[in-house]
Each structure stands twice: as structure tokens, then as C-alpha cells.
Structure 1
Amino acid sequence: MAHIPNSGTPNDDPGGYVGLAADTAEERARGKGWTTVRRLAPGAIITMEYREGRLNLTVEEDGTVSRCWKG
């Protein structure tokens, strides 16, 4: 499949958000160009469709990000 320029998904490493406070992570993600930042509780039931420009954050009860992935 050919590369699609300006596809809407920032060139960003999701691993860099793990351990951050959720508010800090969301602010950073939006600053890097993510159009949607979705906060999820651990074990939340979610749809698995891929959405360009969306960053998913699993946020623990203490407010820190424990997992992060694109789509």
C-alpha cells in the first residue's frame, strides 16, 4: 500500500505518554496534532475500529496514563 502524505496521524511515539498525568498527556497530544484524544478506564469495553488522528489513553484511578496507542 502506498504512503498517504498528510494522513492525519501525527508521527508520534505513544510510549512517551505512559506515566504522565492524563491532563498533561492530553495537552501534549493535542499540541503534537492529535485531533481526538480518548481517555479510557482500565478494562473498558471499546470498539476496535481504527480512527486516524485518534490517540487512546488508558488512565488509572490515580490519573496516570498506563497504556497508550494510536487509532
Structure 2
Amino acid sequence: MSTTRCGRFFFNIRSEQDLIRDYSGSVLPDIETAISAALVGGLQIRPDAGCLRHPQQFEITSEDGKLVAIVPIDY
């Protein structure tokens, strides 16, 4: 598990063909909280709700652009 602590985390969404970047991010206390937020967010994403086709995973990055976690989206 990463040791990234308190900072802004970005929740980019990867689909089969696209990467939708999160440009605003969220300030969270640690990576564990960011992963929990992605798990909850993944439950709210539906493949038929909007322009994103078949979202597969969140790619969580830190403020410096480092990939810190990949969280599958289950629906």
C-alpha cells in the first residue's frame, strides 16, 4: 500500500477506449480514504448513464501525477 498522505487525489476514469481525467480532484487525508471514495463512486456509475461507455476502473493519482491506486468499477 502506498504511503501517500494528506493531499489532493485525482479520480481518472478508464473505459475500454477512453481516459476521462479528473482535473479538480479531492483533498483527502490518505490513499486509503481515496480508495474508499473510489469504491463508493464506482457503485454510482452506470455504463448507460451518459457519454462514458463501459467504465472499467478509477486510476487514482496524487498531486504530482503519480499513479497511487487502481480501483475496478463494478456494476
Scaled by the length of structure 1, the TM-score of the pair is: 0.32
Scaled by the length of structure 2, the TM-score of the pair is: 0.30
Which is strand-richer, 1 or 2? Answer: 2
